[in-house]
Amino acid sequence: MNSIIEVKDLCKTYIVNKRQNNVLKNVSFSISEGEMVAVMGPSGSGKSTLLYTVSGMDNMTSGEVSFRGKDISKLKKDELAELRLDEMGFIFQQMYMLKNLTLLDNIILPAVRSEKNTATKKEKQQRGLELMNKLGIAELADNDINEVSGGQLQRACIARSMINSPAIIFADEPTGALNRTSSEEVTDELIRLNSEGTTIMLVTHDSHVAAKCDRVLYIVDGTISKEITLGKYTSPSTLRDRERELNNWLMDMGW
């Protein structure tokens, strides 16, 4: 399979109170098109920083991140913003949405802002409604964001991330603020999107979520120490064995 992301010797350093903090240290890995990859590790290990740097939301100190053959470190600020808007989707633990817009208007906002998305406003709204219908929240289109549950709001965030048909979705603890039932629903939606061809890279502390991913990268002190390949998740009947394999591996990692 072709790689959609190639990371080589990635470093990220912050200067805090004149002291150098090396958050990422010579990180190298690749993600193939259609993969669903989880990043796990202890608190403060650099998981979220890795996600933000690989996706271009944060600047790298050195190294190379290639997205579909483009070195994102060499893109101008507006070129990078356009790339993120048109070819990447983002989901966060904190479900950021504009309070003065309905759920549907929040979902279609990236499509309205995109210069490459030449659909009419009506077509963009229809696309948003179709995504909401797939995610089981179509009846909430005209609701304000404070009129829905956390699980429903996160599904709306998934719909928003998909509005411009991105090649990859970056998700930072997408189930972290949800109860177990909502977490299962959101994870299953991500798996469905992945089965339809969307590549997904997610950060999670939940081995139950990670067990449904193709591969898990384990990061410690800013360095990927090891990875485990679980293969494509195809049936709930395999989940217990996948969780057992992953948890045994995590224990060996010192989890």
Residue 106: what pLDDT?
Answer: 95
Output the pTM of the full model: 0.91
Residue 176: what pLDDT?
Answer: 83
- Rounded distance, CA 20 to CA 154, Å? 36
Residue 17: what pLDDT?
Answer: 80
**Domains, in order of start, for the chain:** 36-44+77-252 (3.40.50.300)
Residue 93: what pLDDT?
Answer: 77
- Rounded distance, CA 59 to CA 14, Å? 11
Residue 46 CA, chain-centre distance (Å), reads 15
Q: Between the CA atoms of 218, 224, 225 and 228, what dihedral angle is there, to the nearest 10 degrees?
A: 50
CB 207 within 8 Å of CB 43? no
- Rounded distance, CA 57 to CA 49, Å? 9
Residue 96: what pLDDT?
Answer: 82
pLDDT along the chain (255 residues), means of 10: 93 86 93 97 92 94 95 92 94 85 95 89 94 91 92 90 94 86 86 93 95 97 95 95 97 90
Compute the residue count for the chain.
255
CB 25 within 8 Å of CB 189? no
Residue 94: what pLDDT?
Answer: 78
* Encoded amino acid at 49, one letter: T
* SS3 assignment for 189-230: HHHHHHHCCCEEEEECCCHHHHCCCCEEEEEECCEEEEEEEC
Hey, what are 169's tokens? Answer: 């979705």
